[in-house]
Amino acid sequence: MATAAEVDEQELPPRRSSSSPEVMEQQRGNLREPLLEHSPIDLRRQAANTTSQVAIVGSNLCPIESLDYELIENDVLNQDWRSRGRAAILQYVFLKWTFCLFIGILAGAVGFFNNLAVENIAGRKFVTVSKLMLANKYWTAFWVFAGSNLALLTFATAIPAFVSTAAGGSGIPEVKAYLNGVDAPDVFSLRTLVVKIVGTIAAVSSSLHVGKADPMVHIGACIGAMVGQGGSRKYRMTCSWLRYFKNDRDRRDLVTCGAAAGVAAALRAPVGGVLFALESLSSWWRSALIWRAFFTTAVVAVTLRALTDICGRGNCGLYGKGGLITYDVIADTVAYRLADLPPVILLGVIGGVLGSLYNVLMVKVLHACSLVNERGGARRLLLAAAVSICISCCLFGLPWLAPCRPCSSKECSTVAHPGGFNNFQCPPDHYNDLASLFFNTNDDTIRKLYGRGTNDDFQKSSIMVAFAASYVLGILSYGVVAAPFGLFVPIMLTGASYGRLVGMAMGSDTNLDHGLFAVLGSASFLGGTMRMTVSVCVIMLELTNDLLLLPLVMLVLLISKTVADAFNPNIYDLILRLKGLPYLEDHAEPYMRQLTVSDVVAGPLRTFNGVEKVGNVVHILKTTGHHAFPVIDEPPFSSSPVLYGLVLRAHLLSLLKKKKRFLPTRSVAGLGAAGQFGADELGKRGSGKHERVEDVEVSAEEMEMFVDLHPFTNSSPYTVVETMSLAKALILFREMGLRHLLIVPKSSSRAPVVGMLTRHDFMAERILGLHPFLRKSRWRRLRFQRSTLRRLCRACLMWASS
Amino acid sequence: MATAAEVDEQELPPRRSSSSPEVMEQQRGNLREPLLEHSPIDLRRQAANTTSQVAIVGSNLCPIESLDYELIENDVLNQDWRSRGRAAILQYVFLKWTFCLFIGILAGAVGFFNNLAVENIAGRKFVTVSKLMLANKYWTAFWVFAGSNLALLTFATAIPAFVSTAAGGSGIPEVKAYLNGVDAPDVFSLRTLVVKIVGTIAAVSSSLHVGKADPMVHIGACIGAMVGQGGSRKYRMTCSWLRYFKNDRDRRDLVTCGAAAGVAAALRAPVGGVLFALESLSSWWRSALIWRAFFTTAVVAVTLRALTDICGRGNCGLYGKGGLITYDVIADTVAYRLADLPPVILLGVIGGVLGSLYNVLMVKVLHACSLVNERGGARRLLLAAAVSICISCCLFGLPWLAPCRPCSSKECSTVAHPGGFNNFQCPPDHYNDLASLFFNTNDDTIRKLYGRGTNDDFQKSSIMVAFAASYVLGILSYGVVAAPFGLFVPIMLTGASYGRLVGMAMGSDTNLDHGLFAVLGSASFLGGTMRMTVSVCVIMLELTNDLLLLPLVMLVLLISKTVADAFNPNIYDLILRLKGLPYLEDHAEPYMRQLTVSDVVAGPLRTFNGVEKVGNVVHILKTTGHHAFPVIDEPPFSSSPVLYGLVLRAHLLSLLKKKKRFLPTRSVAGLGAAGQFGADELGKRGSGKHERVEDVEVSAEEMEMFVDLHPFTNSSPYTVVETMSLAKALILFREMGLRHLLIVPKSSSRAPVVGMLTRHDFMAERILGLHPFLRKSRWRRLRFQRSTLRRLCRACLMWASS
C-alpha cells in the first residue's frame, strides 16, 4: 500500500518554465473585473493542492485516481473506430449482454450462498445454545455463545486487516465513489471479493448487529468490474473481442448493473435493486442502462428462485423458508382512516430525528475508532474482540430481565425448527419475548416484528430494551469493528422496534396492526438515515409483498427524509467524506457562482511540445505525478503556439515501452505512423492497475531522440474560458464525467492554455482553503443545523424521562 | 399559426461579410487530414439547413424552438446572482416545493374529474342502450348508440381543430420532446389544457378505442409548465419571488414532476408515475428530481384517495368502485412451475412481434391520414364521423354472432349497476360475452379480462373477435381521428385479449389462471409497443396489486422488448419523428464518429462587434431568424479579434426595447451600466412566448447610435474545437442541454469562431443529406429489419390460417 507521500494524483502540474512570469502577469491584467475582490491572487496561486488526494480505503491511506469517461480522440483510436465494421458492433453488443447475464447469475449465486452459510452457521450456534439452556447449563451456554461469537468476529476482522483492507466496511460508499469517477485501488480486486464474501458470512453469523445487504452491493459491483476488465493478461484470459471493454465507460455500466444485481440478490427485490442503483449509487444514467440493469436483476431473481427451489427439498441444512429476507405479510386489506394519520406522521418525524442523530453518532464513533484501527491489525483485533464480548454479554444478559410468557397459539422454537419464539430460561411451552428478538438472525427478528396479529406477543418493556440495544449496538458494531458488513438490515430492525413502540403507545386509538407500525417504522428510519425515497419505497413493498401499504410508506418516507435533511446528509455520504473520497456533488454550492475557474487553478502548468525529446518526457513523468499534459505546437510546426490537445500519462508510458516510434530528429512522423500502434495497447487497464514509469527502460541514446506525440494526443479535449464561473464548469465536469478540463484564455494573443481543472479543484475543502472568507456562510448553516439537532434531542430526552 | 415560411429557428446564420473568404480558405487549408475524403466540402458549405425546423403540432406545421438549459453568464445575471442572499434561496426552495404541491393537487383533481365524467357520460349511454335492448327496441338502441358516439366524437374532434391544434393526439411525444429541449408552440397553453381535458372526456366516452392515460401526462405537464411560468403579465400575476422561475431549467423540473403526476393520476400508480417520467419521458435526470417527483406523485395519491372517499358515499352518479383503473386481483399465491414458462415466453415473443407490427401500421395510418387532416377542420370532422359510424357498427354488429350463456354465479349487469356482464340480445339471466367486452368502458373490460377464476366465462371465438377488433380499431381510432386521446389503455386491452387466447390455447397444459395470462399479455404488448421496462413493470404491479406476479411480468417484458427492438423503435419515438420534432438521442450513431463538427456546419456565420451600431443590430435581427450571435471584440477594443461570448436574440430585443443603453459614440459603457437593467427583464418567457423584432420601435436617430453588448453577452459559452468528432460533440450538446455550441479554430491566428452547432445539425436527415454516402449503412440495417418483420408476419398469418 502506498503512503500519503507517494500520492500520484496531483494533476495540478507546476507551471512549465517556458510559460514565463510575463504571461501570468498579462493574464492577471486581462482578467475582467474579478468577481471576488477579497481573494489575494498571489496567495491562491501559491497554494498547493493538499486536500483529498488520498482516501482511507479500509483503514489505510491510499492514493486515488479519477476515471476517464471522456471519449479520447487521438489518431490511433480514431483509426481503430473507423476500422470497426458491423461485425465488431454486433460482437460488442452480444458481449455486453452476455456479461450482464453472467453478472446476474454470479450475483444471485453469491447472494444465495451467503444466506445459506449465515443461516447454517448462526443457526447451528443458536441450536447448540438452546439445547444447553434447555438442559439448564446456563454458564456453558454463555461460554459457547460468547466464544463462538468471538471466534467468528476475530476471523471476520483478521482477514480484511491482513489480506485486503479495501474489503472492510459497507462498500457502498466506495461503489458510489467509483460510479462518480473515483478509482480507489484494490476496491474491485479478486482478493477483495473473496475476503468480502467470507468476512460478511463470519461477521453476520457472530451476532454482531450488522447486515449482509450492503456488502452484497460491493460484491455485485466487484463482479461487474471484474467481468468488464477486458480479460486479464496475468491469467492469460485475452481475446480480441474483449478489447472493446478496455475503457472506463463500459466498465461503469457493468459496475452499475452489478451493484443493482447485488441489491436484488441481497433483498430479493429486483425492481428495488434497479432503483437503488439509480437513485443512490449512480451519478450518470441513461435509459438504455435502466433496461440493462433491469435485465441483470431479472436474471438474479430467476437464479435465486431456482436455487431456493433446490433447497426447498430440505437438503440445505438449517436453511429454511426464512433464508432470504422474505417478510411476506400480505393482508387482505389495510384499512386506515384519517385518525390513523397522526401516529404515522409522528413515526416519520421520529424517524427523521433519530436517523439524523444516528448519522451524527455513527460518524463520531467511526472517526474516533479510525485512529485506533489505523495502528495496525493487532489493535483492530483487540477492539473487535472487546466489542464482541460486550455484545455477547448484552444479548445474553438482558433477556433475564424479561418474564416468561406461555406459548399459546404461536409458533415456539423447537430444536428442529429454530427461528420461532425462544424459551431461553423459561419452562417448556413458555417463551421469553426479548430472547426471541436477540437469539435469532436479524431476518428472523424482523419477520417477528413485522408479523400481523401479534399485538400481544411482545411486552412494551421488551421492545423498548430491544430498541435501545439495537440503536446503540448498531452504532457500536459498525463504528468500532472494521470488518465487512452493512447497515441496511440493522437500520430496518431498529426502525421496526420503535415502530412497534409507537403502535403500542397509541393503544386503542388506532386500528392499525403493530406489525404494520413496525414496517412503517423501518421505512421511516431508512428514510432518516439513508434518505432514499423511491428505492426504499419499492424495496419495502417487495420485501413485505404488500402493495396496499404504498401510500403510508410514501408518507412516512417523505416526512422522515424532509426532517432529517434539515440536519445532515445521508449516512453513505458522511462515510464517503470521512474516507476522504473526492465525490463530486451534482449541484453547485451557491459560493461557486461567485468564483471563476481561474480563481481555483493553482500551480504552474507542465506542457509538452508536439514533437518532444524522449529524455524530457521521461524526466517529467518521473518528477511529476500528473496524469495528463497539454500538448502545444510551437513555431517550427505552426505559426504561433497552438493547443494541439491533451496526452494521457498512460498513453505516454505505452509509447515509451514500445520505443518504435522514436525519431532521430525533431520532425513530424509520417501519416501511417499511427498504424504501427494497436488500439488495444492504448486501452485503459482495469480498476486500480496502472503502469509505472519506473518499469520503463530507456537507454541514454534513446533519451536524446524525439517522439511525435500527435497521434497519441486527444485532439479534442474539452475546454472552458477562464472567465467561466466555477458553478458552470462544475456542471460540465460532472455531467460529462471528465477527468481533466483545460482552461483557455479569452485573448488569442496569450499562451494557448492557462490551466487545468481536475476533480480536486471542485472540492469544498480546497476552494474554502483558497478563499477562507467564503467559509462564513457555510459555517453559519452548519452551526444552525447542529444547534437545532441538539435542542431537539434534549427535548426528546426530557419527554422520554418525564 | 405560423407557416413554414416564417420559420425562425434557423440558427445557422449566413457568414458575416466581415469574415472574408480568405479566412474560410485558410480554415480549409488548416483542417488536419479530413476524416472523410469523399465529402465535397464546397457542396457541404452551401447546403442550407432545410430539415426539421418545423414540426407538425396537432395537424399544422409550426416553427419550433429549442430551450436554453445553459447557465447564461452575463454581467446582468451575474450581478443578480451575487445579490441573492439566504432569504432569496429560501424563497426559491419554498416556492419550488409549493409548486410541486399545487401540481400534485391539480393533477389529482383533474384525473379524478376526467374519470368521473367519463364514467357518467359513457355509463349513461350504456344504461340507455341496455334499457332499449331489454325492451327489444334493437334499432332504436343502435341509433342511440351510434348517434351519441357520433356526437361525442364530432365534438372531441371539432374543439382541437378549431381552438387548439396542439391538443390533438396523445401528447406524450410533445412532452418527451419538450423535456429533450424542443419547444413547440402552444403545447403548454391554458387553451390547450382546457381543450385536452374536455376533448379527452368526449373522445373516451364515444366508444372509440382510445384511452385517457396519455392525455393525463400532457395535462400534468401542462399544469407543471403553467405553474412554472414565473407569473403572467397578461393576467397581472406578477411577484418578485416568481422571477426565479423565469428560466427553462426550473421549468423543465416542474414539467417533469407534472408528467409524473399525470401518470400517477391516470393509472393510480404513484411509483410507476415517477418511473415512467424517468424512463421514457425525461432526457435529463438527477437524484434531487426523483425526490421531488416522488413528492408530487404522493400528493396525487392522497388527493385521489380523498376524492374517491367522497364518492364512496355514492353521490357521484354512475361513478362506482371502478372509476379509477383499479384491477385489484390479489391472489393468495401465484404458483408457477417450470412447465408454465414456455407459454409465458411465447406470450413475450407474440407481444414483441405484434407490438412492432402495431407500431408500423400505426405510423402508416397516421402518415396517410395526416395528409387529409392537414386540409382543414371540415375534412377532419368528416373522417372522424366515418370512423365513429364504422366503429359503432362493429361494436353493435359483432356481438350478435356470439351465443347467449347463462349467468350462473357471476355478476351480470343490472341497470342500477352497470359494468358487469351485459345481456345484450339475450334473455334475462343470460349474458353475451362479446357484448360484455364491447359495451363497457375500457376499464371495466380490462377488469373482466384480468379477473381470476373466470376461465369459463368467455368463449375462445369471442375473445378472438375481441382481440382482432381491438387491434384493428385501436390503430384505426388513433391513426385516423385527430382528437385528444391516448394509446396506453387500448394497448393494455389488446394485450389482455391475446393473453387470454394463449391461456385458452394452452388448455390444461398449464395451471396458470387465464386472468393471469391476460395480465401478462398486457405487459407483453406494452413492452412490444412502448418498450418500457421498469416503469411498465411497476405500473402493472400497482394496477393489479399483486407483487407475486413480478418475476413473470419481468420475463415477459424482457422478451417482448428484445424481440420488438430488433424491428423498430417505440411508438412514441415513431410519432415524434412523424411530427418532425428534432429529438436528440442519447447515443451517437456509429457514422457520427466518422465526421468532425466542421463537416456539418453549413452557411456563413453572422456576428456582432462588442460595441455595435443599433441600426446594424435591428437589421440583422429583422433579416435573420437566428437566436444567438457570437460577439467579437475587434482591434479598437482588443489587440486582435477575440471571441467575447454569445448574445441571445431575446436579450437583444429586451435591450432594444429599453433603449436606455444607447451610446452616442463607439465606446464601452461604464461599469455600473449593467445595474440599470433588472435581471427579470432578461428572464426567459414561458413556453411558446417570444418577443418579435417587429414590435420594437427604433427611431432613425437611434439607429445611428451604438450599444455596448458586453453586459448582455454570455461570456462563457461552451466551445469545441473544429476537429472534434460529431459523436463527441453530440454527447456534450445532449448532456448539457445546449442550444448553441460554438466551434473555435485550432489555430489562434484565424477568426476566433468558425461556426455554430445547433440541435438541427445533429439530426440524421440533415447529416445524411450532407453526406449521402453514409446512407448506405443505415439503409442496409433498416431494410434488413423490414424484410425480417415481413417474413415473420407472413409466417404468423400462415400459422393462424392453418
State whether B586 and A86 contact (CB < 8 Å): no
Kindly state whether B32 is in contact with chain A, defined as any CB-CB distance less than 8 angstroms: yes
The pLDDT of residue B608 is: 92
Q: Which of B71, B302, B555 sits opposite A728 (nearest CB)?
A: B71
Which whole number is the average pLDDT over A191-219?
A: 92
Chain A residue numbers with beta carbons less than 8 Å from the beta carbon of B561 are 291
- The CA distance from B355 to the nearest CA of chain A, in Å, is 18
Q: Which of B302, B590, B747 sits opposite A638 (nearest CB)?
A: B747
Q: Which of B305, B644, B718 sits opposite A551 (nearest CB)?
A: B305
pLDDT digits (tens, 9 = 90+) for A780-794: 566 666 676 677 767
State whether B723 and A716 contact (CB < 8 Å): yes
Summary count for chain B: helices (H), strands (E): 27, 15
The pLDDT of residue A419 is: 60
Residue A32 has pLDDT above 70, yes or no: no
The pLDDT of residue A107 is: 96
The pLDDT of residue B660 is: 63
Which whole number is the average pLDDT over B166-188?
A: 88
Which whole number is the average pLDDT over A674-701?
A: 73
pLDDT digits (tens, 9 = 90+) for B643-656: 899 999 888 888 88
Kindly state whether B87 is in contact with chain A, defined as any CB-CB distance less than 8 angstroms: no
Chain B residue numbers with beta carbons less than 8 Å from the beta carbon of A563 are none
Q: How confident is the model at residue A264 (pLDDT cuts 50, 70, 90)?
A: very high
Kindly state whether B674 is in contact with chain A, defined as any CB-CB distance less than 8 angstroms: no
Which whole number is the average pLDDT over B255-283?
A: 91
Which whole number is the average pLDDT over A182-200?
A: 90
Which whole number is the average pLDDT over A499-523?
A: 87
pLDDT digits (tens, 9 = 90+) for B190-201: 899 999 999 999
pLDDT digits (tens, 9 = 90+) for A64-113: 788 888 888 888 888 877 777 778 888 888 889 999 999 999 999 999 99
Kindly state whether A533 is in contact with chain B, defined as any CB-CB distance less than 8 angstroms: yes
The pLDDT of residue A48 is: 35
Q: Which of B546, B593, B746 sits opposite A81 (nearest CB)?
A: B593
Q: Who's near A468: CB < 8 A, 6+ residues apart?
A: none
Residue of A332, A537, A716, A738 to mutate, testing the B interface (most B Cβ within 10 Å of its Cβ): A716
SS3 B589: coil
Residue A671 has pLDDT above 70, yes or no: no
Range name among A593-597, B144-148, B405-409 with the lowest pLDDT average: B405-409
Q: Which of B35, B545, B551 sits opposite A547 (nearest CB)?
A: B545
The pLDDT of residue A46 is: 34
Q: Which of B287, B298, B747 sits opposite A586 (nearest CB)?
A: B287
pLDDT digits (tens, 9 = 90+) for B394-427: 999 998 888 888 876 556 655 545 566 777 888 8
Q: B594 to chain A: nearest residue by CA?
A: A82
Q: How confident is the model at residue A336 (pLDDT cuts 50, 70, 90)?
A: low
The pLDDT of residue A22 is: 38
Interface of A with B in 572-591 (CB under 8 A): 586-587, 590
Q: How confident is the model at residue B50 (pLDDT cuts 50, 70, 90)?
A: very low
Closest to B443 (Cα-Cα) out of B293, B279, B684, B266: B266
The pLDDT of residue B455 is: 77
Q: Which of B71, B274, B541 sits opposite A727 (nearest CB)?
A: B71
Residue A395 has pLDDT above 60, yes or no: yes
Q: How many angstroms separate the CA atoms of B622 and B25, rounded?
A: 29
Q: How many angstroms separate the CA atoms of B464 and A722, rounded?
A: 68
Task: Give CA separation, A103 vs A280, A548, A735, B533, in Å.
Answer: 20, 33, 27, 19
- The CA distance from B250 to the nearest CA of chain A, in Å, is 13
Kindly state whether B777 is in contact with chain A, defined as any CB-CB distance less than 8 angstroms: yes
DSSP for residue A14? P
The pLDDT of residue B685 is: 72
Q: A72 to chain B: nearest residue by CA?
A: B728
Q: Who's near B174: CB < 8 A, 6+ residues apart?
A: B57, B166, B184, B187, B218, B579, B581
The pLDDT of residue A1 is: 34
Residue of B716, B736, B743, B778 to mutate, testing the A interface (most A Cβ within 10 Å of its Cβ): B716
- The CA distance from B230 to the nearest CA of chain A, in Å, is 21
- Quote the cell numbers at residue A286: 441513461
pLDDT digits (tens, 9 = 90+) for A567-585: 889 999 999 888 888 898 8
Kindly state whether A549 is in contact with chain B, defined as any CB-CB distance less than 8 angstroms: no
Q: Are A589 and A764 in contact (CB under 8 A)?
A: yes
**What is the ipTM score, two decimals?**
0.84
Q: How confident is the model at residue A446 (pLDDT cuts 50, 70, 90)?
A: confident
Q: B589 to chain A: nearest residue by CA?
A: A89
Q: Are A738 and A646 in contact (CB under 8 A)?
A: no
SS3 B530: coil
DSSP assignments along A536-563, one per residue: HHHHHHHHHT-GGGHHHHHHHHHHHHHH
State whether A275 and B279 contact (CB < 8 Å): no
pLDDT digits (tens, 9 = 90+) for A599-620: 888 767 889 988 888 889 999 9
Model-wide pTM > 0.90 = no
Chain B residue numbers with beta carbons less than 8 Å from the beta carbon of A533 are 290-291, 294
Pick the residue with more confidence: A372 or B631? B631
Q: Are A531 and A565 in contact (CB under 8 A)?
A: yes
Residue B5 has pLDDT above 60, yes or no: no
State whether B78 and A35 contact (CB < 8 Å): yes
Chain A residue numbers with beta carbons less than 8 Å from the beta carbon of B671 are 33
DSSP assignments along A624-678, one per residue: ---SEEEEEE-TTTSSS-EEEEEEEHHHHHHHHHH-TTEESSS-PPPGGGGGGS-
State whether A301 and B551 contact (CB < 8 Å): yes
**Under the phi-then-psi rule, with left for phi > 0, alpha for psi from -120 to 50, and beta for the rest, what region is B470?**
alpha
- Quote the cell numbers at residue A561: 427524509
pLDDT over 70 for what percent of chain A? 81
Look-up of cell digits 420461532: A420
Kindly state whether A738 is in contact with chain B, defined as any CB-CB distance less than 8 angstroms: no
The pLDDT of residue B496 is: 93
Q: Are B544 and B269 in contact (CB under 8 A)?
A: no
pLDDT digits (tens, 9 = 90+) for B743-801: 988 876 778 888 899 888 888 888 888 888 877 666 556 666 667 667 776 776 776 66
Task: Give CA separation, B316 vs A661, B112, B213, B304, in Å.
Answer: 83, 11, 21, 14
State whether B271 and A538 contact (CB < 8 Å): yes
Residue B674 has pLDDT above 80, yes or no: no
DSSP assignments along B138-152, one per residue: HHHHHHHHHHHHHHH
Q: Which of A285, A533, A551 sits opposite B294 (nearest CB)?
A: A533
Q: Are B322 and B419 in contact (CB under 8 A)?
A: yes
Task: Give CA separation, A701 vs A536, A614, A656, B558, B705, in Å.
Answer: 64, 10, 14, 61, 68
B563 alpha carbon, distance to own chain's centre:
24
> How many other CB atoms sit within 10 Å of the CB of residue B436?
28
Residue B107 has pLDDT above 70, yes or no: yes
Q: How confident is the model at residue B473 (pLDDT cuts 50, 70, 90)?
A: very high
The pLDDT of residue A53 is: 54
Residue A594 has pLDDT above 90, yes or no: no
How high does pLDDT run on average in chain B? Answer: 80
Residue B208 has pLDDT above 80, yes or no: yes
